[in-house]
Amino acid sequence: MMSQMTEGQYELGDFALQNGQVLRDAFIGYATYGDLNDAADNVIIFPTWYTGTHHGVDPYIGEGKALDPSLYFIVVPDMFTNGYSTSPSNAIGSANGLEFPLVTPFDNVAAQRRLLLEHFRITSIELMVGFSMSGQQAYHWGALHSDIVRRICSICGTARTSPHNWAMLHAYKSAMEASADWDAEGHKSWTPEIMTLVSSIGATMAMSQDWYRDGLHLTDEVASVADVISNLSQLFEQWVPADLYAQTLTWMSADVSANETFNGDLESALKAIEVPALLMPCDTDMYFRVKDNEAELSLMPNASMKVIHSKWGHMAGMPGANPDDDRFIDQALATFLEGR
C-alpha cells in the first residue's frame, strides 16, 4: 500500500558552505511519511542520491516494511543540486548556472541537520539510511553527528569516493563539458549527442556485466542495449544539465574525512563512527566495491556488513529497481532496527 507523503521546503537563509562560499537564500526540499511522536525521537532519515528526488524512496516505505510510517516519522531530504533544493537551475544571483559553488556531502548533511532540528524539532534520529551518494552521507552522520543519530546504514556507498569511481564521474563531467556551447547555453538543455554520451556511461556502469550477459535487460519493451541507453536518456532528460553537472562534482568530492575535524585522516574518521553501522554493498556494483566496505569495516568499531548478492550491480540498491533486492534490503533494515 502506498503511504501518504507530505512535501515541503525549509528556508535556510544564507547558507555558509564548507569552502567558504555562501548560498544566498538557500532552501532544502523534503518529503515526510508518518507522524512525529511526542518525544520527537521516532525519526528515520533517507536523503536522495544521484538523479534521485524525494519521490524515489517510496518503494522502501510502507506499513509492514522496515521503514513503516505507522511507527516512524520518515524524512526524505533533497540534496542540493537536484532541483528541489537549491541548485544551479533555481539559485539566485551569481550562483545560478555554471557559477554554482561546490556543495559537498558535508554541506548537505549540515543542511539536513538544520532541517531536522530547527524545523521539525527532533531530539534524536533512530536511523540514518542512504543509497549511493546518500549512503556516503551516512558516514558523515555517524562520524560527525553521533550526538543525535543512533545508527546508520549505507546501501551501495562508501566513506570516500574511490579512484575508479572518480574516474567514471570524470567521464560524466567531461561528456557534459563536450557540448559545443556548454559555457553559453549548453548547460541549460541537452543536445542529443551529449545525452547519448551521458546515457552510454550510465548504461556501462550502473548495471553489471552479469546483468547484461544473462539478458536481464531484455523485456517486452527493451529489446537491446540501445534500448537501455534510450531509457536512461529519458531519466537524464528530466534534469537540467547544470544541476546534474553540479551533483557530479558533489559525488566526486565525497570524503568523510575532508573536514576540519579529521583533516583528511580517513582512518580516524571511520574509527569515530561508534554508533551501530550496517554496510550493504552489492557484489556486482562497479561504483562501490565490496572490498572498499571490507576495508572500512575493519576500522569501524561497531559495524557489520550484509552483502547484496545480485546481478543488478549498483542498481541493486535503487528503491524499486528489483523486487528481490528490495526484499533483502528491507529484511536487513528490519533486523538492524530491532538491534539484531
**pLDDT tens digits for range 286-300:** 999 999 999 999 999
- pLDDT at position 276, please? 99
Ranking 146-155, 185-194, 245-254 by mean pLDDT, the lowest is 185-194
Average pLDDT over residues 240-252: 98
- pLDDT at position 93, please? 87
Q: What gap in Å lies between CA 32 and CA 22, rounded to an integer? A: 27
Look up residue 232 and give its amino acid: L
Q: What gap in Å lies between CA 68 and CA 58, rounded to an integer? A: 11
Checking if the pLDDT of 1 tops 90, the result is no
Which residue(s) pair with 235 in the sheet?
A: none
Closest-CA residue to 131 (of 323, 327, 316) = 316
**pLDDT tens digits for range 48-65:** 999 999 999 999 999 999
- pLDDT at position 16, please? 98
- pLDDT at position 340, please? 60
**pLDDT tens digits for range 68-122:** 999 999 999 999 999 999 999 999 988 899 999 999 999 999 999 999 999 999 9
Average pLDDT over residues 241-251: 98
Provide the pairing of β-strand 73-77 with 125-131.
unpaired
Is there a contact between 93 and 33 (Cβ–Cβ < 8 Å)?
Answer: no
Rounded to two decimals, what is the model's pTM? 0.97
**pLDDT tens digits for range 25-38:** 999 999 999 999 99
What value does the mean pLDDT of the chain take?
A: 97
Average pLDDT over residues 179-208: 95
- The answer for residues whose C-beta is within 8 angstroms of residue 216's C-beta and 6 or more apart is 207, 311, 312
**pLDDT tens digits for range 213-238:** 999 999 999 999 999 999 999 999 99
Closest-CA residue to 86 (of 115, 61, 65) = 115
**pLDDT tens digits for range 149-163:** 999 999 999 999 999
pLDDT class of 2 with cuts at 50, 70, 90: low
pLDDT class of 189 with cuts at 50, 70, 90: very high
**pLDDT tens digits for range 297-330:** 999 999 999 999 999 999 999 999 999 999 999 9
What residue ranges define each of the domains in the chain, with the CATH number in brackets? 6-162+255-337 (3.40.50.1820), 165-248 (no CATH)
